């Protein structure tokens, strides 16, 4: 089962182009550090500014470099159903374990529209993780709608970024105990698992894969005291990472660790000096920088 710490992988750039060598290095590093799986080309992977060719290339590179060692959940979301189907089919062809499909943003479909959209994605024959993030998409999938979709054999779980921990038991009741519930919120990942979740698709885990994996392992084994201790170590980093767009912070952190450049694509820009200072302090608190 897909579970544990699943970094929402950044896409490294060099001089405006995808840095394939750095991407491969990140995949190997995450595996060595204990990440349970990887999620390339989500929003943290700057999917909005990748070309179709770059998107498909990043997915294929990550899958090839991982070589079956860990699951790869490919970002495949769009607010255009036809485009979503294309992305899911490409992920399936490349050998992805599953696809992460976001609720369509901006055009605000009804619940009936969400059902039709996700069934079209699932009918491609690749397992689908629903990504419910109403704060960005401005549409919220209800637990009842999710339960209806969970009846499809290829709709296997949710990345829940609602921030509402009560959703986890509600979705257990509507979708069943085997439905995979993954947190999309780093700061509440421990509480999410306590309510019945089994993992987190994490931004912080880009920089702290070992700690995030250890925290997830502790919760999955029922060691909430141990998980709380690690969460205390990570909390300043969770908070600092989201002072400005999380992926920008993650790339800054990775640059401090010597793993990739800080480079991002417009309309995103680099961190402010104030955010860098807080990130440096948080990385030190986590024991990642001396």
> What does the pLDDT look like over 123-142, one tens digit per residue?
999 999 999 999 999 999 99
Report the relative pairing of strands 73-75 and 17-18 from DSSP bridges: unpaired
Tell me the mean pLDDT in the region 11-16: 98
Tell me the mean pLDDT in the region 144-171: 98
Domains and CATH numbers, the chain: 4-221 (3.20.20.70)
Catalytic residue among 131, 217, 251, 276: 131
> Predicted confidence band at 290 (pLDDT cuts at 50, 70, 90)?
confident
Catalytic residue among 92, 93, 106, 159: 159
pLDDT digits (tens, 9 = 90+) for 35-48: 999 999 999 999 99
> Predicted confidence band at 7 (pLDDT cuts at 50, 70, 90)?
very high
Cut 0.85: pTM above it: yes
pLDDT at 18: 98
* Confidence check: pLDDT of 256 > 90: yes
Tell me the mean pLDDT in the region 218-227: 98
159 catalytically annotated: yes
Tell me the mean pLDDT in the region 82-109: 98
> Predicted confidence band at 1 (pLDDT cuts at 50, 70, 90)?
confident
106 catalytically annotated: no
Tell me the mean pLDDT in the region 163-176: 97
């Amino acid at each position: 089962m897909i579970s544990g710490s699943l970094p929402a992988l950044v896409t490294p750039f060099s001089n405006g182009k995808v840095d394939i060598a750095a991407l491969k290095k990140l995949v190997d590093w995450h595996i060595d550090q204990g990440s349970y799986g990887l999620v390339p080309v989500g929003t943290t992977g700057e999917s909005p500014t990748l070309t179709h060719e770059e998107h498909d290339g990043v997915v294929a590179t990550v899958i090839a470099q991982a070589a079956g060692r860990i699951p790869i959940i490919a970002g495949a979301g769009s607010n255009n159903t036809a485009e979503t189907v294309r992305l899911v089919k490409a992920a399936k062809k490349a050998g992805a374990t599953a696809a992460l499909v976001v609720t369509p943003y901006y055009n605000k479909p009804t619940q009936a529209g969400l059902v039709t959209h996700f069934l079209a994605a699932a009918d491609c024959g690749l397992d689908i993780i629903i990504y419910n993030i109403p704060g960005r998409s401005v549409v919220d999938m209800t637990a009842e709608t999710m339960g209806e979709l969970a009846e499809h054999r290829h709709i296997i779980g949710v990345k829940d970024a609602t921030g509402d921990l009560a959703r986890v038991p509600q979705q257990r009741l509507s979708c069943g105990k085997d439905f995979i519930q993954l947190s999309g919120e780093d700061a509440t990942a421990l509480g999410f698992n306590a309510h019945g979740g089994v993992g987190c698709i994490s931004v912080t885990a880009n920089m702290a894969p070992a700690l995030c994996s250890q925290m997830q392992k502790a919760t999955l084994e029922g060691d909430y005291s141990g998980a709380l201790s690690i969460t205390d170590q990570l909390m300043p980093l969770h908070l600092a990472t989201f002072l400005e767009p999380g992926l920008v912070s993650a790339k800054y952190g990775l640059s401090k660790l010597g793993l990739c450049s800080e480079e991002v694509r417009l309309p995103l820009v680099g961190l402010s000096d104030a955010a860098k200072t807080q990130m440096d302090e948080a990385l030190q608190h986590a024991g990642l920088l001396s």
